[in-house]
Amino acid sequence: MIITHNGSILQFNGQIIDLEVGSTPTPSITPTLTPTPTITPTLTPTPTITPTASITPTISVTPTITPTPSSTSGGFVTNQLFMKLDATNYSGTGLWLDETANGNNATISGATWLATDSGIFDFDGVNDTISIPHNINLSLNTTTQKTIQIWVKFESSPTGSNNSILFSKLSGGFGFDGYFGGINISNQAVVATNGTSIAKTTTSTSGISLNTWYLFTFISQITNTAGSTKVYINETEFSSSFHGTDGYSESNPLTLGYMPAPLSGLGLIQYLDGKIGACYFYTKGLSLAEISTNFNTTKSKYGL
Protein backbone atom coordinates (compact mmCIF):
# COMPACT_ATOMS: atom_id res chain seq x y z
CA MET A 1 0.00 0.00 0.00
CA ILE A 2 1.50 3.34 -1.00
CA ILE A 3 0.18 6.57 0.44
CA THR A 4 1.48 9.81 -0.94
CA HIS A 5 0.36 13.06 0.51
CA ASN A 6 0.87 16.21 -1.46
CA GLY A 7 -0.80 19.09 0.28
CA SER A 8 -4.49 18.47 -0.07
CA ILE A 9 -3.96 15.64 -2.45
CA LEU A 10 -3.79 12.14 -1.14
CA GLN A 11 -2.80 9.41 -3.44
CA PHE A 12 -3.76 6.01 -2.28
CA ASN A 13 -2.72 3.09 -4.33
CA GLY A 14 -2.77 5.26 -7.37
CA GLN A 15 -6.15 6.87 -6.63
CA ILE A 16 -6.17 10.61 -6.06
CA ILE A 17 -8.27 11.88 -3.20
CA ASP A 18 -8.90 15.64 -2.77
CA LEU A 19 -8.37 16.52 0.87
CA GLU A 20 -8.87 20.22 0.55
CA VAL A 21 -9.79 21.56 3.92
CA GLY A 22 -13.45 22.69 4.27
CA SER A 23 -14.54 20.90 1.17
CA THR A 24 -17.09 18.27 1.86
CA PRO A 25 -17.45 16.08 -1.10
CA THR A 26 -20.97 15.81 -2.46
CA PRO A 27 -21.66 12.30 -3.38
CA SER A 28 -23.03 11.78 -6.84
CA ILE A 29 -26.39 10.11 -6.39
CA THR A 30 -27.89 8.27 -9.20
CA PRO A 31 -31.66 8.91 -8.72
CA THR A 32 -34.08 6.10 -8.66
CA LEU A 33 -36.59 6.77 -11.42
CA THR A 34 -40.19 6.21 -10.67
CA PRO A 35 -41.57 4.66 -13.79
CA THR A 36 -44.59 6.35 -15.36
CA PRO A 37 -47.32 3.77 -15.29
CA THR A 38 -48.90 2.79 -18.53
CA ILE A 39 -52.54 3.66 -18.18
CA THR A 40 -54.88 1.12 -19.57
CA PRO A 41 -57.93 3.11 -20.77
CA THR A 42 -61.25 2.20 -19.34
CA LEU A 43 -63.48 1.23 -22.23
CA THR A 44 -67.17 1.93 -22.16
CA PRO A 45 -68.59 -1.36 -23.27
CA THR A 46 -70.83 -1.35 -26.31
CA PRO A 47 -74.11 -2.80 -25.11
CA THR A 48 -75.28 -5.89 -26.80
CA ILE A 49 -78.71 -5.12 -28.28
CA THR A 50 -81.17 -7.90 -28.39
CA PRO A 51 -83.27 -7.13 -31.46
CA THR A 52 -87.03 -7.02 -31.09
CA ALA A 53 -88.62 -9.34 -33.54
CA SER A 54 -90.57 -7.58 -36.30
CA ILE A 55 -94.11 -8.87 -36.19
CA THR A 56 -96.20 -8.69 -39.31
CA PRO A 57 -99.69 -7.86 -38.07
CA THR A 58 -102.58 -9.95 -39.15
CA ILE A 59 -105.07 -7.61 -40.81
CA SER A 60 -108.69 -8.39 -40.26
CA VAL A 61 -110.61 -7.44 -43.37
CA THR A 62 -114.20 -6.39 -42.82
CA PRO A 63 -116.18 -7.52 -45.84
CA THR A 64 -118.50 -5.14 -47.63
CA ILE A 65 -121.97 -6.43 -47.01
CA THR A 66 -124.78 -5.76 -49.43
CA PRO A 67 -127.87 -5.40 -47.29
CA THR A 68 -130.60 -7.91 -47.83
CA PRO A 69 -133.78 -5.91 -48.01
CA SER A 70 -136.81 -6.84 -46.00
CA SER A 71 -140.33 -6.56 -47.34
CA THR A 72 -141.62 -4.91 -44.17
CA SER A 73 -138.77 -3.35 -42.25
CA GLY A 74 -135.02 -2.99 -41.99
CA GLY A 75 -132.38 -0.60 -43.20
CA PHE A 76 -132.66 1.74 -46.16
CA VAL A 77 -131.58 0.08 -49.44
CA THR A 78 -128.11 1.31 -50.39
CA ASN A 79 -127.12 -1.20 -53.06
CA GLN A 80 -126.53 0.83 -56.28
CA LEU A 81 -127.90 3.98 -54.66
CA PHE A 82 -126.55 6.77 -56.89
CA MET A 83 -128.30 9.82 -55.39
CA LYS A 84 -129.93 10.48 -52.03
CA LEU A 85 -131.52 13.85 -51.30
CA ASP A 86 -133.29 14.09 -47.94
CA ALA A 87 -134.73 17.50 -47.00
CA THR A 88 -134.26 16.64 -43.32
CA ASN A 89 -130.54 17.28 -43.86
CA TYR A 90 -130.82 20.45 -45.97
CA SER A 91 -128.04 22.92 -45.10
CA GLY A 92 -130.03 26.06 -45.92
CA THR A 93 -127.51 27.38 -48.45
CA GLY A 94 -129.61 26.98 -51.60
CA LEU A 95 -127.75 23.76 -52.42
CA TRP A 96 -129.37 20.45 -51.46
CA LEU A 97 -126.44 18.10 -50.87
CA ASP A 98 -126.39 14.57 -52.23
CA GLU A 99 -125.74 12.17 -49.33
CA THR A 100 -123.91 9.70 -51.55
CA ALA A 101 -120.34 10.35 -52.73
CA ASN A 102 -121.52 11.00 -56.30
CA GLY A 103 -121.97 14.79 -56.10
CA ASN A 104 -125.54 15.05 -57.40
CA ASN A 105 -126.19 18.27 -55.51
CA ALA A 106 -129.48 20.02 -56.29
CA THR A 107 -129.99 23.77 -56.73
CA ILE A 108 -133.10 25.24 -55.08
CA SER A 109 -134.96 27.88 -57.11
CA GLY A 110 -138.00 29.24 -55.31
CA ALA A 111 -138.96 26.10 -53.38
CA THR A 112 -139.10 26.89 -49.67
CA TRP A 113 -137.64 24.65 -46.97
CA LEU A 114 -140.00 24.05 -44.04
CA ALA A 115 -139.29 22.32 -40.73
CA THR A 116 -142.57 20.39 -40.83
CA ASP A 117 -142.28 16.60 -41.13
CA SER A 118 -138.65 16.97 -39.99
CA GLY A 119 -137.81 19.00 -43.10
CA ILE A 120 -139.47 19.25 -46.53
CA PHE A 121 -139.57 21.56 -49.58
CA ASP A 122 -142.75 23.48 -50.39
CA PHE A 123 -143.58 24.16 -54.09
CA ASP A 124 -146.09 26.92 -54.86
CA GLY A 125 -147.35 25.53 -58.19
CA VAL A 126 -146.27 28.71 -60.03
CA ASN A 127 -142.52 28.82 -60.62
CA ASP A 128 -140.70 26.82 -57.93
CA THR A 129 -138.09 24.34 -59.16
CA ILE A 130 -135.24 22.11 -58.04
CA SER A 131 -132.52 21.16 -60.54
CA ILE A 132 -129.83 18.46 -60.46
CA PRO A 133 -126.99 18.67 -63.05
CA HIS A 134 -126.81 16.09 -65.82
CA ASN A 135 -124.92 12.91 -65.13
CA ILE A 136 -124.91 9.99 -67.55
CA ASN A 137 -125.90 7.69 -64.69
CA LEU A 138 -129.08 9.71 -64.19
CA SER A 139 -130.12 8.97 -67.79
CA LEU A 140 -131.91 5.83 -68.92
CA ASN A 141 -130.26 3.29 -71.21
CA THR A 142 -130.99 0.10 -73.13
CA THR A 143 -129.09 -2.35 -70.93
CA THR A 144 -130.14 -1.68 -67.34
CA GLN A 145 -133.16 -0.41 -65.47
CA LYS A 146 -132.98 2.79 -63.43
CA THR A 147 -135.19 3.81 -60.49
CA ILE A 148 -136.24 7.19 -59.14
CA GLN A 149 -138.25 7.54 -55.93
CA ILE A 150 -139.85 10.71 -54.56
CA TRP A 151 -141.74 11.38 -51.33
CA VAL A 152 -144.50 13.79 -52.40
CA LYS A 153 -147.67 15.43 -51.06
CA PHE A 154 -150.16 17.02 -53.49
CA GLU A 155 -151.99 20.14 -52.29
CA SER A 156 -154.07 20.97 -55.36
CA SER A 157 -155.12 19.31 -58.59
CA PRO A 158 -154.10 20.80 -61.97
CA THR A 159 -156.93 21.74 -64.31
CA GLY A 160 -157.79 19.93 -67.54
CA SER A 161 -155.30 17.37 -68.77
CA ASN A 162 -152.36 18.93 -66.99
CA ASN A 163 -150.41 16.88 -64.49
CA SER A 164 -148.65 17.48 -61.21
CA ILE A 165 -145.14 16.82 -62.47
CA LEU A 166 -142.83 15.16 -59.95
CA PHE A 167 -139.64 14.84 -62.01
CA SER A 168 -138.41 15.43 -65.54
CA LYS A 169 -135.22 14.81 -67.49
CA LEU A 170 -135.94 15.79 -71.08
CA SER A 171 -133.87 16.92 -74.03
CA GLY A 172 -134.51 20.32 -75.59
CA GLY A 173 -134.61 18.78 -79.04
CA PHE A 174 -137.38 16.18 -78.94
CA GLY A 175 -140.84 16.12 -77.43
CA PHE A 176 -140.31 13.05 -75.27
CA ASP A 177 -136.57 12.45 -75.58
CA GLY A 178 -135.91 11.55 -71.96
CA TYR A 179 -138.28 10.69 -69.14
CA PHE A 180 -140.73 12.30 -66.76
CA GLY A 181 -143.37 11.27 -64.23
CA GLY A 182 -146.48 12.88 -62.85
CA ILE A 183 -150.02 12.38 -61.63
CA ASN A 184 -153.32 13.95 -62.59
CA ILE A 185 -155.27 13.98 -59.35
CA SER A 186 -158.57 14.70 -61.12
CA ASN A 187 -158.73 11.46 -63.08
CA GLN A 188 -156.16 9.47 -61.05
CA ALA A 189 -153.93 9.07 -64.13
CA VAL A 190 -150.27 8.22 -63.63
CA VAL A 191 -148.10 9.48 -66.50
CA ALA A 192 -144.61 8.21 -67.24
CA THR A 193 -142.49 8.23 -70.37
CA ASN A 194 -139.09 7.56 -71.87
CA GLY A 195 -137.62 7.59 -75.38
CA THR A 196 -138.36 10.18 -78.07
CA SER A 197 -142.03 9.77 -78.77
CA ILE A 198 -143.87 7.39 -76.45
CA ALA A 199 -145.90 8.49 -73.42
CA LYS A 200 -147.54 5.87 -71.24
CA THR A 201 -150.64 6.73 -69.25
CA THR A 202 -152.26 4.35 -66.80
CA THR A 203 -155.35 5.05 -64.72
CA SER A 204 -154.82 4.15 -61.12
CA THR A 205 -157.28 2.39 -58.89
CA SER A 206 -155.78 3.24 -55.50
CA GLY A 207 -157.39 6.63 -55.00
CA ILE A 208 -154.64 9.23 -54.60
CA SER A 209 -155.73 12.04 -52.27
CA LEU A 210 -154.65 15.60 -51.63
CA ASN A 211 -152.66 16.45 -48.50
CA THR A 212 -151.37 12.90 -48.04
CA TRP A 213 -147.77 11.76 -48.39
CA TYR A 214 -146.91 9.13 -51.03
CA LEU A 215 -143.72 7.39 -52.12
CA PHE A 216 -143.76 7.54 -55.93
CA THR A 217 -141.47 4.96 -57.61
CA PHE A 218 -140.62 5.03 -61.32
CA ILE A 219 -138.58 2.19 -62.87
CA SER A 220 -137.66 2.22 -66.56
CA GLN A 221 -135.37 0.88 -69.26
CA ILE A 222 -135.35 1.70 -72.98
CA THR A 223 -136.29 -1.69 -74.32
CA ASN A 224 -139.41 -3.18 -75.80
CA THR A 225 -139.92 -5.86 -73.17
CA ALA A 226 -142.71 -6.51 -70.71
CA GLY A 227 -142.28 -4.58 -67.51
CA SER A 228 -139.56 -2.31 -68.87
CA THR A 229 -141.41 0.66 -67.31
CA LYS A 230 -143.18 0.39 -63.96
CA VAL A 231 -144.80 2.84 -61.57
CA TYR A 232 -145.54 2.20 -57.89
CA ILE A 233 -147.35 4.34 -55.33
CA ASN A 234 -146.15 3.30 -51.87
CA GLU A 235 -146.13 -0.51 -52.23
CA THR A 236 -148.79 -0.80 -54.93
CA GLU A 237 -147.92 -1.25 -58.61
CA PHE A 238 -149.88 1.14 -60.84
CA SER A 239 -148.32 0.41 -64.20
CA SER A 240 -146.20 -2.25 -65.89
CA SER A 241 -145.76 -1.98 -69.64
CA PHE A 242 -143.64 -2.34 -72.75
CA HIS A 243 -141.77 0.84 -73.31
CA GLY A 244 -138.87 2.01 -75.45
CA THR A 245 -136.56 0.92 -78.28
CA ASP A 246 -136.67 4.37 -79.88
CA GLY A 247 -133.92 6.99 -79.88
CA TYR A 248 -132.58 8.60 -76.75
CA SER A 249 -130.06 11.41 -76.47
CA GLU A 250 -131.04 13.76 -73.65
CA SER A 251 -128.40 15.50 -71.56
CA ASN A 252 -130.45 18.07 -69.62
CA PRO A 253 -130.64 18.41 -65.82
CA LEU A 254 -132.97 16.26 -63.76
CA THR A 255 -135.66 18.61 -62.40
CA LEU A 256 -138.01 18.10 -59.46
CA GLY A 257 -141.44 19.70 -59.21
CA TYR A 258 -141.89 20.81 -62.81
CA MET A 259 -141.45 19.93 -66.48
CA PRO A 260 -139.52 22.44 -68.63
CA ALA A 261 -139.87 23.07 -72.36
CA PRO A 262 -140.23 21.66 -75.01
CA LEU A 263 -143.50 20.14 -73.78
CA SER A 264 -145.13 23.46 -72.92
CA GLY A 265 -146.77 23.53 -76.37
CA LEU A 266 -148.50 20.23 -75.62
CA GLY A 267 -150.28 21.54 -72.54
CA LEU A 268 -148.24 19.27 -70.29
CA ILE A 269 -146.04 21.81 -68.54
CA GLN A 270 -147.16 22.00 -64.95
CA TYR A 271 -145.48 23.04 -61.74
CA LEU A 272 -146.11 21.03 -58.60
CA ASP A 273 -148.33 22.55 -55.95
CA GLY A 274 -147.30 20.48 -52.97
CA LYS A 275 -144.38 19.19 -50.96
CA ILE A 276 -141.32 17.02 -51.67
CA GLY A 277 -139.48 15.43 -48.77
CA ALA A 278 -136.83 13.24 -50.41
CA CYS A 279 -135.59 11.90 -53.74
CA TYR A 280 -133.59 8.72 -54.32
CA PHE A 281 -132.04 7.44 -57.55
CA TYR A 282 -130.75 3.89 -58.18
CA THR A 283 -128.74 2.56 -61.11
CA LYS A 284 -130.86 -0.59 -61.07
CA GLY A 285 -134.53 -1.51 -61.00
CA LEU A 286 -135.71 -1.94 -57.42
CA SER A 287 -137.62 -5.08 -56.55
CA LEU A 288 -140.97 -4.86 -54.79
CA ALA A 289 -139.24 -6.03 -51.61
CA GLU A 290 -136.74 -3.14 -51.87
CA ILE A 291 -139.51 -0.63 -52.61
CA SER A 292 -141.33 -1.86 -49.51
CA THR A 293 -138.15 -1.62 -47.45
CA ASN A 294 -137.62 2.03 -48.36
CA PHE A 295 -141.28 2.85 -47.82
CA ASN A 296 -141.45 1.24 -44.38
CA THR A 297 -138.05 2.57 -43.31
CA THR A 298 -138.89 6.23 -44.05
CA LYS A 299 -142.69 6.54 -43.79
CA SER A 300 -142.76 7.52 -40.10
CA LYS A 301 -141.22 10.88 -40.99
CA TYR A 302 -144.33 11.62 -43.03
CA GLY A 303 -146.86 10.52 -40.44
CA LEU A 304 -147.66 7.16 -42.01
Mind listing the pLDDT tens digit for each residue in 139-188?
A: 988 889 999 999 999 998 776 667 788 998 887 555 567 788 888 777 77
Q: Is the residue at 76 inside a domain?
A: no
Q: Cα dist. 186→108, 115, 207, 261 in Å?
A: 28, 29, 10, 23
Residue type, 43: L
Number of domains in the chain: 1
Q: Is the residue at 31 inside a domain?
A: no
Q: Is the residue at 224 inside a domain?
A: yes
Q: Is the residue at 71 inside a domain?
A: no
Q: Is the residue at 36 inside a domain?
A: no
Q: Is the residue at 7 inside a domain?
A: no
pLDDT higher at 297 or 199: 297
Instruction: Using DSSP, state whether 299 is helix, strand or coil.
Output: helix
The confidence score (pLDDT) of residue 283 equals: 98
Residue 88's closest CA among 78, 96, 79?
96
Q: CATH number for the domain including 161? A: 2.60.120.200
- Please calculate the CA angle 120-87-254 and round it to the nearest 5 degrees: 100
Q: Is the residue at 252 inside a domain?
A: yes
pLDDT band at 29 (very low <50, low <70, confident <90, very high): very low
Q: Is the residue at 250 inside a domain?
A: yes
Question: How far apart (Å, rounded) are the C-alpha atoms in residues 140 and 135?
Answer: 11
Predicted structure pTM score: 0.73
Residue 261's closest CA among 129, 108, 112?
129
Give tens-digit pLDDT for 47-65: 444 444 444 444 443 333 3
Domain containing 288: what range? 81-302
